[in-house]
A and B are shown apart, each in its own frame.
Chain A
Amino acid sequence: MAQTPYAYFPGCTLHGTMLEYNASARLVCEAAGVDLRELKDWNCCGAWSAHTTDYMLGLALPARNLQKAEAMQLPMVVPCAVGFSRMKLAMHEMENPAVLSAVNQAIDKPFKNSVVVEPLLKVLASDSLDLEVKKPLQGLKVACYYGCLLVRPQKILKFDDENNPQTMDKLMSRLGAEPVDWDFKTECCGAGMSMPRPDVVNRLSSKILLAARSMGADCIAVACPMCHFNLDFHQREVEAERKEKIQMPALYFTQLMGLALGFSAKKLMLDKHLVDPMPMLKSKGMAA
């Protein structure tokens, strides 16, 4: 299959706690003809902390990565919603020539701010990709969760509708699954508050988990490592607070794609989540 090359910025967590997102993304991309060429020595985009406390640092950290993609003369693809958001918002700020010149000074590299940046979800949901669905996700009800940073603000990110995005829903339909119609697609999960204010994350993510359950979803599909952490890792705390079991698996959209394309649960690292998706997947005949 012809391979389309992209400059790949995985983001810190994909080499850390969220290695299953990286592994499943790589498998699915290879099968779909998306050639991921990882940036050499990429660095953290600064996530929530840089732009929040230091204006220039919030631009220079993404810019060092953007400059690498620009030098490769390839569009950049980003699986991490935080990274995607920071790249796009920094590029928007750097449309001001004075700001761009200051950032060039800070990174000590010539950067023209001329990179195309796409979220991995957009690339993998493209109709033009030739996907061979070997095991359709028949009978799987999926609550597609986009969160904040992938879609807001639409006028700058230019990806999907910021109120009712459809990209993941359409992809899940194409794979044979049934996306549920729900209200919490773009509600905030508590973002980076996990460490400093876990109570905020528990409060917000519980609403999302319960909304998915009330719509009869078998699992939540996500495209953001931070959302995944807040919905999966924090679920045990939500359960303890509510004194009830929820056990709503949160899976990366790339893992669901991988299952449909015929990859094994082991290869897709479905054993990495704290809320074990295997009983649900086995009951649907989607994993052995």
Chain B
Amino acid sequence: MQMAGAITPVASSEFLDYVGKQSGQRIMDCYQCGKCSAGCPTAYDMDLTPRQMIRAIQLGLKEEALKSSTIWMCVSCQTCSVRCPVQIDIAKAIEAVRLLAVAEKAPAAEKNVKLYHQVFLKSVEFTGRLYEMGLSVAFNMLSRHPFTGMDILPTMLRKGKLALMPVFKGTAEVEAIFARIKR
């Protein structure tokens, strides 16, 4: 049985309804003023700006939304959400789209961003906390940039800023949480 709160695939005709419910936002209230896109720090590199993303949700354009770079370029800074004149938490709406993209295993337009999240969470699952050295090495290997940051590594080690070995804290309990959520 799936845990409460788990996200399951939805049809395009139910897309608007899904985003509204999952995010708790009134998506149809948006009148396309564009204030969200104007303030967004990463809109310059999104294929759909935040305003266009809300329009896509309104129109039920599920595929376009799920394959967009927008859902991976959003850094959850909340600027759009606090500036919206009709109080739509836009970052939360974008998050709902991203959660569906993960649940439906849609190909990610920003592969490295998704990879980063996966490697980060593996670190937390197995050590209970973020293990920075492990995250760096694993991400570099899996993203095929094995030597990124090598120039600064000796400085970081000399300053005692990087631990070579992870610290295992609360590991069994955290692993059990991951297991219960059945990721």
Contact = CB atoms under 8 A, between A and B. Distances in A.
Nearest to A65: B170
Contact of A105 (B3, B128, B139, B167): B3
A55 B5 contact: yes
A190 B121 contact: no
Nearest to A57: B181
Given A41-B169, A60-B181, A61-B177, A17 B3 contact: no
A198 to B, nearest CB: 8
Nearest to B121: A49
User: Size band of the A side of the interface?
Assistant: 35 or more
A195 B116 contact: yes
B81 to A, nearest CB: 6
Interface in A264-283: 271-272, 274
B114 to A, nearest CB: 8
B144 interface: no
A98 B5 CA distance: 9
B-side interface mostly: helix
A36 to B, nearest CB: 17
Interface string A24-68: 000000000000000001111011111111111101110010000
Contacts of B113: 193, 196-197
Contact of B7 (A55, A149, A197): A55
Contacts of B114: 53
A55 B23 CA distance: 11
Contacts of B136: 195
Given A52-B95, A57-B183, A43 B169 contact: yes
Contacts of A49: 116-118, 120-121, 124
Contact of B169 (A42, A107, A188, A236): A42
Nearest to B183: A54
Contact of B75 (A56, A59, A188, A274): A188
A162 B82 contact: yes
A220 B122 CA distance: 33
Nearest to B6: A56
Q: What 7 pairs across the A-B complex have the smallest Cβ distances?
A: A41-B170, A102-B4, A12-B130, A152-B78, A191-B75, A49-B117, A196-B112
22 contacts: A12-B130, A47-B120, A48-B75, A48-B76, A49-B118, A50-B124, A56-B3, A56-B5, A56-B181, A98-B4, A102-B5, A108-B177, A108-B180, A152-B77, A152-B79, A152-B81, A153-B81, A188-B41, A190-B41, A197-B73, A204-B41, A236-B152
Interface of B: 3-7, 22, 41-42, 45, 73, 75-79, 81-82, 89, 95, 98-99, 102, 110, 112-118, 120-121, 124, 128-130, 132, 135-136, 139, 143, 152, 155-156, 159-163, 167, 169-170, 173-174, 176-178, 180-181, 183
